[in-house]
Chains A and B, each alone.
Chain A
Amino acid sequence: MSSLTLIWVIALVLIGGALTWMSALIVARFVKEARASDRADDRKIIIQSLSGLLRGHTDMAMALLPFVRRPEVLAEAILDFQGLIRGADQERAMSALRELGLVEALEQRTIHGSRDERLTSVEALAALGGEAVKSALRRAMGSKDPNVRMAAIKGLADAGAPPTPSRLLDYVGTGELAPSRVYAEVMRQAVAAAPSEGLLALQRQDLHPLMRAILLDALGRSGSYEAVPALAAAAGDLDPEVRTAAVRGLGRLQHPAAAGPLAAALVDPTWTVRSAGAEAVGAAGLARLAPQVATLLNDPEWWVRFRAGDALRRLGKPGLGHLEAVAADDSRPVAQRAAERALAEGG
């Protein structure tokens, strides 16, 4: 074959291939349109049946039975429907679905479905609730897919049965999960369910500063005063991210014993810690720290000045007194402007 012929063959193969590809896509679309129409009809039947169940028509459960063999369709419909109802209504509908044997069918999908189906099935399982679901979700925690694993853990946390904080830390340590914001949310649920376990986990020596910060944030949100000494100790950590998380946590817990570490945070060399310190003093209502917070109105960092002004406003009369005094003092224009703006924003 001459080189000229070869070039023409390549050109014709490319053009022919593109045209065939296009035709195949159009034909596939016709088929998919028909399937999508069937699927939409199925979803309509499912939603109508679930609505019937809510109105007390228990016989409607029978209409759902054929779909148990196609759990992926049911899973999508459940996730749509579950968002629309709450409380006893939700439980009644989900209980009917559990009785149909949907938990087992969905669990099969969490193992054998496509990646998308596995994920949707785990999320639908979590929506179904109940004890059998918890077991299924625990099994799904062993999935190779990190997204499926995270969905299963989140489902368990939402169902009030999160893994222990230490176990959650292990997942990141072994690279099975990433420290995402969803992960941080689950850690909060895990620590809230067992604050002492969170404190125990904090003693681990293998913790990366980021993981310590996530754990401290969770302890701060747990509402447990048990965490105050640990948070106070962490407020003096070498890592600024850890100190910031600890200081914020102390602010959330609003315990008077936090005054010492928070006073130290207000003079921290890192601005994020000073800013968190001011915020925490305002949140905890520690009026005796108002003079120290007022000095931060002259901080070189805008966020610190802003948080200080906000905190003084939140401290009520003592804080407002400082703000008014600084606003009237034109010898420090930066602090004066920060105080004026804080007062103006407060109305």
Chain B
Amino acid sequence: MPDLQILALAVVRFAETIAWAVIATGLAQNVLYLYQLILAARALSQAPPVNQAALLWRRYAEAAPPITLMAPAYNEALTIVESVRSLLALQYPHFEVVVVNDGSKDETLQVLIDAFELHPVERHYDLAAACQPIRGLYAAANQPRLLVVDKVNGGKADALNAAINLSRSPIVCSMDADSLLEVDALLRAVAPFVEDPERTVAVGGTIRIANGCKISFGRVVEVGVPKNMLARLQTIEYLRAFLMARLAWSRISALTIISGAFGLFRRQAVLDVGGYSHGTVGEDMELVVKLHKHYRRLGKPYRIAFTPEPVCWTEAPETMAVLSRQRARWHRGALETFFRHRDMILNPRYGRIGVVGFGHILVVDVLGPIIEIFGYVLIPAFWLLGVLDIEYLWALLAVTFGFGIVISVGALALEETELRRFPNARSLAVLMGAAILENFGYRQINNFWRLRGTWQFLTGAQGWGKMTRKGFSSQA
């Protein structure tokens, strides 16, 4: 009998430990989010965005360095011409567009040749960053800003490396071929390179959800709220990720990721770290971490900045199947980078990036989903077994949800106070509803997808999974 009592006591202790670990992780995450919210609010209030395009041009145009826009394309025959036309119409003093046809199996190259009257050209380039063989270069006298590179398929990182090799600008801009850029995106994002040219090595831009927006000729002409609930929830999620988390971490020099959909980099800095890495689905995060590591090791002052103004719009998945694949892939990419650079974890040699940046990934990305899912399964089980006090659990759960709502509303409040891109009070009310709703189900299922990403990482799964897009032409 005493043995049974000891066993029962041990089970209760174990259950309590699990419960407290889950609660502590949840609270640690929420405290981190709250810290980010405060940092982001300070950043936005001290450097409010410039609303007038004319003012931007006046401030930066004369001093703006040349930029190469790198647009990798794989099987984009249906949309590539409109995308390239929209890129060529950007407002920036000196830029060129390098489109890389990454061994497409469709007519991507031919439609480009036909639409822009391209012909084969020669260009002197160095194979400074590793990439698959380049089969040909195409340009046209009537489109002096455009260069099309045809190469053997090698993936996005490989295509970007090819574009970097061909670029002759001091700044390169990575993007997706189907990203929709704001007309003054480059002028906004280049500001840190103009203001702090010696130290700035990379600048990330805010990505927004284009679902629900009115789109014309490759531009968002009217911002709207997605009708699809899943896309609406992602709108809040993107606000939290970009306007809050990335802005906050960039403010304390701990930003570990610049989205592959839009980012500016000093070309030489990218080459100094060997260009984009192959064999990872998180090449965007990996590049930023490599830059941190390189400059920290050299002991050279550097800056990786972030611009809070929306510069790029992207289509969000509207079905659970596609979204789950995307999230699992993103998570796998984050874990690949985290463990590839595990020597940086909480390593004071790497300053804030090792302690705050990697510490954040450890708590939120590596341990977070595992512990949270663990909690969702074990805590009800322990309660059913009668070993946990349900009253406390409900109360703590309410605090966690309360925190979650405060953070989501806070991110939306940042947008509303400083940027105000959503058209009216009604759209704001709709998004507020989504900010509450996302805490009940969406966040939890997201953790499940991330856990799937962890499984894929552990089992060495490769590939991107099928990413189905509706296309922008049907929107609004």
Contact = CB atoms under 8 A, between A and B. Distances in A.
Interface of A: 4, 7-8, 10-15, 17-18, 21-22, 25-26, 28-30, 32-33, 76, 79-80, 82-83, 115-116, 120, 123, 151, 178-182, 184-185, 210, 302-303, 305-306, 309, 338, 341-342, 344-345
Contacts of A82: 54
A121 B382 CA distance: 65
Interface string B29-59: 0000000000000000000100010110111
Contacts of B375: none
Contact of A341 (B123, B395, B410, B428): B123
A185 B48 CA distance: 24
Contacts of B410: 21
B89 interface: no
A29 B128 contact: no
B152 to A, nearest CB: 20
10 contacts: A11-B402, A14-B402, A15-B398, A25-B416, A82-B54, A123-B59, A179-B198, A180-B196, A303-B126, A341-B122
A4 B391 contact: yes
B124 interface: yes
B142 interface: no
Interface string B415-432: 010001000110011001
A82 B52 CA distance: 13
Interface string B301-332: 00000000000000000000000000000000
B63 A180 contact: yes
- Say whether chain A's binding surface is mostly helix, strand, loop, or mixed: helix
A120 B403 contact: no
Contact of A181 (B52, B63, B405, B416): B63
B229 interface: no
Given A32-B420, A76-B52, 4 more contacts: A15-B398, A33-B424, A178-B196, A344-B122
Interface of B: 48, 52, 54-55, 57-60, 62-65, 121-126, 128, 193-198, 391-392, 395-396, 398-399, 401-403, 405-406, 409-410, 412-413, 416, 420, 424-425, 428-429, 432, 435-436
Contacts of B391: 4
Given A8-B395, A18-B409, A123-B58, A80 B52 contact: yes
B414 to A, nearest CB: 11
A7 B392 contact: yes
Nearest to B190: A181
B123 A184 contact: no
B424 A29 contact: yes
A28 B425 CA distance: 9
Nearest to B415: A25
B198 A26 contact: no
A345 B196 CA distance: 34
Given A11-B399, A18-B402, A344-B122, A184 B63 contact: yes
A302 B413 contact: no
A117 B395 CA distance: 47
B54 A79 contact: yes
Contacts of B392: 4, 7
Contacts of B123: 341, 345
B124 A342 contact: yes
B195 A180 contact: yes
Given A115-B48, A181-B194, A4 B395 contact: yes
A308 B398 CA distance: 69
Given A32-B420, A180-B63, A11 B194 contact: no
A182 B122 contact: no
A315 B197 CA distance: 32
Nearest to B49: A116
A276 to B, nearest CB: 14
A11 B58 contact: no
Nearest to A3: B392
A344 B193 CA distance: 33
Contacts of A210: 198
Nearest to B435: A22
A184 B405 CA distance: 47
A15 B65 contact: no
Contact of A182 (B63, B125, B432): B63
A109 to B, nearest CB: 15
Top 7 A-B residue pairs of the complex, sorted by shortest distance between their CB atoms: A14-B402, A344-B122, A302-B126, A11-B398, A341-B124, A181-B63, A7-B395
Contacts of A17: 406
B405 A80 contact: no
Given A29-B425, A32-B420, A15 B395 contact: no
B107 to A, nearest CB: 27
Which of B125, B392, B416 counts the most A-chain CB atoms under 10 A from its CB? Answer: B416
Contacts of B55: 79, 120, 123
Nearest to B268: A303
Contacts of B48: 115-116
A25 B395 contact: no
A22 B432 contact: yes
B35 to A, nearest CB: 16
A33 B409 contact: no
Nearest to A11: B398
Contacts of A12: 398, 402
A80 B399 CA distance: 49
Nearest to B402: A14
A248 B126 CA distance: 23
B122 A345 contact: yes
Contacts of A29: 416, 424-425, 428
Contacts of A76: 52
A268 B63 CA distance: 29
Contacts of A8: 395, 398
A32 B123 CA distance: 53
A80 B425 CA distance: 27
Contacts of B195: 178, 180-182
B133 to A, nearest CB: 15
Contacts of A26: 425, 428-429, 432
